[in-house]
Amino acid sequence: MTTPNTPGPEAPREAATPLARLLARRIAASGPIGMADYMAECLLHPEHGYYTTREPFGTAGDFTTAPEISQMFGELMGLCLAQNWQDQGAPAPFALAELGPGRGTLMADIWRATARVPGFHTAARLHLVEASPRLRASQQAALAGLPVTWHTTPDALPEGPLWLVANEFFDALPVRQFLRAEGGWAERVVGLRDGALALGLAPAAPLAALAHRLEDTGPGDLVELCPAAEPVMAAIARRVAARGAALIVDYGGWRSLGVTVQALRDHRTDPILAHPGQADLTAHVDFEALARAARIAVPRIGLSGPAGQGLWLEALGITPRAQALARNLAGPALDAHVAAYRRLTHPQEMGTLFRVLALHPPGHAPPGMAEQPR
Ligand code: SAH
């Protein structure tokens, strides 16, 4: 998703989708559900989930992502990972992994760009973490003939040296929302009003996980928490601490404040309760929370960034690469290429909203980044 966050009205006009009816029955029987449960059902319900049933990417889908915009994104990422692998002694074998690979485009570009790096392809074992069986099939087609193993969760990744990428994975993980109130935090829940899904609030209570947010929030502020991100960061940090690196690219900031959950349908924002299972639901990534989770798991883990995607790509050489590709293009193809370059890097497009957080062994440089220790 690359469209700015402009939340729409919250209440659905009708229980428009099969999943809405199913959730309404569940809520009528056992009470309101948290926002994280709602998001998880909408995205990954085995029968009606967005990622399980739809082709979300590209012009025909609901949103587009950096690797789908231009091959340059994956090429530069591949080369900086390979450089980092060499800098750490070129361990063989090693796991080359991706979380949430979508159509498999990013890994295909990484693979193509690293073909001439001596020993890289023979040492790499590809591991993809993907929850949607339908998207696994797309990835299989994009990476036909390569040594790929699929996993459902990141803790199933092998032990040992790991170079990992995750582009727009964490924004798809469900978040809980808490409103600061007298006496603690009131969780925002999805309940029923006149038989239709509607937002409400659970009674306020103190919450240890948000103790550190008492300092920078006041009554009426809303904070989002992504509990699912914590074990993912722990699994990555534990593996990368010895040898490897992880590049996490997503939109978001350092410490989240306010509602960032949004639904996107046909490239437009949609009220979040309007079309469960038929719209993409995402939240901005709280990079401070990701870094915290990594540090809790491995206190000495190397963390760098988050750097703005535009400057990061610039440092990796996107401009000369774009110029080289432009030499073979003309007319509308050249216009599209220039627009893609701008979209990936410009501060008013993806250049600053998207950020890159790197995890690496202590004492080693992060891939493609001047060290910016956290
Ligand atoms: N990285 C790709 C796709 C981003 S969309 C790109 O940049 O184009 C999010 C991806 O994460 C999809 O492949 C989706 O199926 C996957 N995904 C979402 N939630 C997941 C979860 N909890 N576990 C594993 N994969 C998940």
Which residues, including other chains, have CB under 8 Å from residue 344's CB and lie 6 or more apart?
Answer: 66, 69, 70, 72, 73, 309, 310, 313, 318, 350, 351
* Residue 18 CA to ligand 1 centre (angstroms): 23
SS (H, E, C) 269-286: EECCCCCCCCCEEECCEE
Report the pocket of ligand 1 as residue ranges, CB < 6 Å.
Answer: 43, 51, 57, 65, 67-68, 100-102, 106, 129-132, 135, 167-169, 172-173
Mutation probe of ligand 1 site: the residue of 50, 63, 132, 175 with most atoms within 8 A of C-beta: 132
| Helix (H), strand (E) at residue 95 | strand 94-99
pLDDT of residue 59: 65
pLDDT of residue 288: 96
Alpha-carbon distance of 163 to 106, in angstroms, equals 14
pLDDT of residue 372: 52
* Residue 166 CA to ligand 1 centre (angstroms): 9
pLDDT of residue 370: 65
pLDDT of residue 105: 97
Contact 300, 238 (CB under 8 A): no
Q: What is the pTM of this model?
A: 0.93
* Residue 226 CA to ligand 1 centre (angstroms): 15
DSSP lists the bridge partners of residue 262 as: 282
Per DSSP, the three-state class of 302 is: strand
- Say which residue the tokens 């437009």 belong to: 268
Q: How far is CA 261 from CA 46, 58, 160, 200, 226, in A?
A: 22, 21, 35, 15, 11
Mutation probe of ligand 1 site: the residue of 2, 43, 51 with most atoms within 8 A of C-beta: 51
* Residue 171 CA to ligand 1 centre (angstroms): 9
Sketch the domain layout of the chain as residue ranges: 18-360
- Closest ligand 1 atom to Cα of 57: 8
The pair of structure tokens assigned to 178 is 């808490």
* Residue 204 CA to ligand 1 centre (angstroms): 33
Which residues, including other chains, have CB under 8 Å from residue 248's CB and lie 6 or more apart?
Answer: 166, 169, 170, 290, 356, 357, 358, 359
* Residue 216 CA to ligand 1 centre (angstroms): 31
pLDDT of residue 371: 58
pLDDT of residue 266: 81
Q: What residues in the chain have per-residue pLDDT under 70?
A: 1-15, 58-59, 370-374
Alpha-carbon distance of 246 to 95, in angstroms, equals 11
| CATH code, residues 18-360 | 3.40.50.12710
